[in-house]
Amino acid sequence: MRVVIAEDSVLLREGLTRLLTDRGHEVVAGVADAEALIKTMAELSAEDALPDVVVADVRMPPTHTDEGVRAAVQLRKAHPGLGVLVLSQYVEERYATELLAGSSRGVGYLLKDRVAEVREFVDAVVRVARGGTALDPEVVAQLLGRSRKQDVLAGLTPREREVLGLMAEGRTNSAIARQLVVSDGAVEKHVSNIFLKLGLSPSEGDHRRVLAVLTYLNS
């Protein structure tokens, strides 16, 4: 896996680089601000050497507001197949929904505290690089808790909501089964019910999983 890291904290940037390289991945560039990220990605694109995933801080210089996530959104538009994982100190709904507005494929939003959970963090980076989704449980909980989502999700049972939340974190059915201590078959039944209640027909194929997540994130 080839990675570009955008993080203004030198210690965190070097720490992320060490975590990934120690596990056999290649960090092709590390930059400190959004402008440098965009420039670096343009250079890599010109060389036909784009990375598999970009890991970027939501807030970077010069204003430390939303430069990182805006750069991430810009890169997603320019390179739809690029995986993008953003890191944030706190749950910021607006940034999460902005990043997920186009597609949840190859997208991640994690709190920086998760970096300490090394295995889970690296797994999340790999999952996003492969086109999966990695949403922090705290982000999912906050988004699911919005009152205006109740209309969309009103028909789901508490267990189905729980399964949908774990789906949004990018977990497979088997991983959900382990988390909830139930059988794979039980999870498959819940997922089928979620699709049915959200009006996602079998004709949508494998995309139904992504559409189910987007239904509540964008509603």
pLDDT in tens for each of the 219 residues of the chain? Answer: 999 999 999 999 999 999 999 999 999 999 999 999 999 999 999 999 999 999 999 988 888 888 888 899 899 889 988 999 999 887 776 777 677 766 667 888 899 888 888 888 999 999 999 988 888 877 776 665 554 455 667 788 999 989 988 888 778 899 999 999 999 999 999 999 998 888 777 765 556 777 777 776 655
> Domain containing 203 — which CATH number?
1.10.10.10
Tokens representing 46 are 């010109």
Give the end of a domain, one of 145, 172, 188.
145
Q: Are 29 and 95 part of one and the same domain?
A: yes
The residue segments making up the domain with residue 140 are: 2-145
CA angle 121–126–130, rounded 5-degree value: 145
State the DSSP code for 101: S
Q: Are 50 and 24 part of one and the same domain?
A: yes
**Helix residue ranges, H only, the chain:** 10-21, 34-46, 67-78, 93-100, 118-129, 137-144, 150-153, 158-168, 173-180, 184-197, 207-217
As beta bridge partners, residue 135 has 109
Residue 151 lies in a domain: no
Q: Are 58 and 139 part of one and the same domain?
A: yes
Residue 150 lies in a domain: no
Phi and psi angles of residue 84, each rounded to the nearest 5 degrees, phi first: -135, 120
What total number of domains does the chain contain? 2
C-beta of residue 94 within 8 angstroms of C-beta of residue 58? no
Q: Are 116 and 185 part of one and the same domain?
A: no
Which strand ranges, in their side-by-side order, compose the sheet holding 107-111? 26-31, 2-6, 53-57, 83-88, 107-111, 133-135
Coil/strand/helix, residue 19: helix
